[in-house]
Amino acid sequence: MRPLPPLSALRSFEALSRLGSVTQAASELHVTHSAISQQIRQLEDMLGVVLFVREGRGLRLTEDGRLYALQVRIGLTELTEATRLIQARPRDGELVVAVLPSFGAHWLLPRLPRFQARFPQYRISLRASLDIQDLRQGLVDIGVRMGQGGWEGLQQQHLFDDELVVVAAPGFRQGKLPRTPAEIVAGPVVRTVESWMGWCLAAGVEEPSQAGLWINDSNLVLQAVQQGMGVALERRSLVDAGLKSGMLVQLSDIVVPYPYPHWLVWPQRESSLLKQREFASWMAEEVAVYQQELAQAAR
């Protein structure tokens, strides 16, 4: 196998091919003008082809240079991504948990100090994102997902089924809260990604008007509701703390099942096995306490 050109020469070539200026390439790479020129000459000698021709006061890529630049740019991008991925992998003593921002803020975060107290040896990193991360890449130790289960290549532990409830701020409409289903859907309603169809069928009313405020993030929905901007249909897991604290009130005893259960999922990886097992066991305990509290409140 022929030796590859030095990485420094390839970086100089890529920068110069993209910027078209030795001065700009030198500035971007924090090297001297002469260093860029020397790297290009060495690269051309090694390859046995001409990569640039002088045109006026500037440089122009030859056809060989243009084709080479395309492949070098792809290669450097892949090297950069590979470096980022290996550096982002969880380290010993670090527990990286992927969560949806809403679940992380309203359910997991208030309970997390209990895990920290039991397992002080871990540095916990929450990766909150609306995007579903591929846990098999090795960037996350364990994650919480909503869905029907059956994710390929992942260990799975069912956490709990959720339900949808209608909530408002206690001061909504100066405290004159809607109580009947007809009053609730009359609005104003802060609409979310959650469909009102199931709740309205159970309540025997038409769905709320499509007009008004629509928000695609549950954190913003709850903020709007707490500011008295309307009523909302949200997951019990997200509003439970607000109901207990009095920041929210439940407007109706009518609740409907949420179609996507919560799951704990993780890739089977020997280096993470112990912390995955410890976090999964702790989560199961927290879920049991949560469900017991819900059962007691419903009596």
Please report, in tens digits, the pLDDT of each residue of the chain (299 residues total): 567 888 999 999 999 999 988 999 999 999 998 999 999 999 999 999 999 998 877 788 999 999 999 999 999 888 887 666 665 565 667 899 999 999 999 999 999 999 999 999 999 999 888 766 666 666 789 999 999 988 888 899 999 999 999 999 999 999 999 989 999 999 899 998 889 999 999 999 999 988 889 998 999 999 999 999 999 999 999 999 999 999 999 999 999 999 999 999 998 877 778 999 999 999 999 999 999 999 988 77
Strand, helix or coil for residue 238: helix
Q: Which residue has the tokens 């809260």?
A: 177
| Residue 59, domain CATH | 1.10.10.10
Distance CA(247)–CA(168), nearest Å, equals: 9
Instruction: Say if 237 falls within a structural domain.
Output: yes
Q: Which of 88, 116, 144 is the last residue of a domain?
A: 88
Q: 255: closest CA among 294, 214, 216, 224?
A: 294
Q: Are residues 178 and 66 in the same domain?
A: no
Name the packing angle between helices 7-19 and 33-47 (round to 10°).
Answer: 110
1: in domain? no
On whether both 170 and 156 belong to a single domain, the answer is no
208 domain residue, yes or no: yes
Confidence at residue 33, expressed as pLDDT on a 0 to 100 scale: 87
135 and 178 both lie in a single domain = no
- Return the pLDDT at 77: 87
d(CA 218, CA 298): 24
Going from the C-alpha of 288 to that of each of 30, 148, 209, 283, the distances in angstroms are 57, 20, 38, 9
Both 67 and 215 in one domain: the answer is no
**110, 77: one domain:** no
In whole angstroms, how far apart are CA 163 and each of 127, 152, 241, 262?
A: 25, 26, 15, 11
Q: Looking at 36, 59, 88, which one is the last position of a domain?
A: 88
129 lies in the same domain as 190: no
Per-residue model confidence (pLDDT) at position 4: 84
> Domains in the chain: how many in total?
3
Shared domain check, 264 and 239 = no
Distance CA 120, CA 130 (A): 28
**For residues 207 and 195, what is the distance between their CA atoms, to the nearest angstrom?**
9
Which residues span the domain enclosing 251?
Answer: 163-257
Please check whether residue 2 lies inside any domain of the structure: no
Q: Which two tokens stand for residue 109?
A: 């975060």
Q: Does 196 map to a domain?
A: yes
Asked if residue 141 belongs to a domain, the reply is yes
Q: How many angstroms separate the Cα of 167 from the Cα of each of 97, 236, 247?
A: 29, 10, 10
Q: In this structure, is residue 106 part of a structural domain?
A: yes
Domain check: are 172 and 249 in the same one? yes
Q: Supply φ then ψ for residue 74, to 5 degrees.
A: -65, -45
Contact 121, 162 (CB under 8 A): no
> For the domain that residue 213 is a member of, what is the CATH number?
3.40.190.10
* 142, 276 Cβ separation under 8 angstroms: yes
Q: How far apart are CA 292 and CA 174, in angstroms?
A: 34
Residue 38 · residue 104 · CB < 8 Å: no
Of 73, 88, 103, which residue sits at a domain end? Answer: 88
The reply to whether 67 and 199 lie within a common domain is no
Q: Which two tokens stand for residue 59?
A: 């440089």
How would you classify residue 230: left for phi > 0, otherwise alpha for psi between -120 and 50, otherwise beta? Answer: left
**Could you tell me if residue 114 is inside a domain?**
yes
Q: Are residues 214 and 279 in the same domain?
A: no
How far is residue 188's CA from residue 97's CA, in Å, rounded to a whole number?
Answer: 36
Rounded to two decimals, the pTM is 0.71
Residues 263 and 154: their CA atoms lie apart, in Å, by 11
Same domain (yes/no): 157, 167: no
Q: Are residues 82 and 12 in the same domain?
A: yes
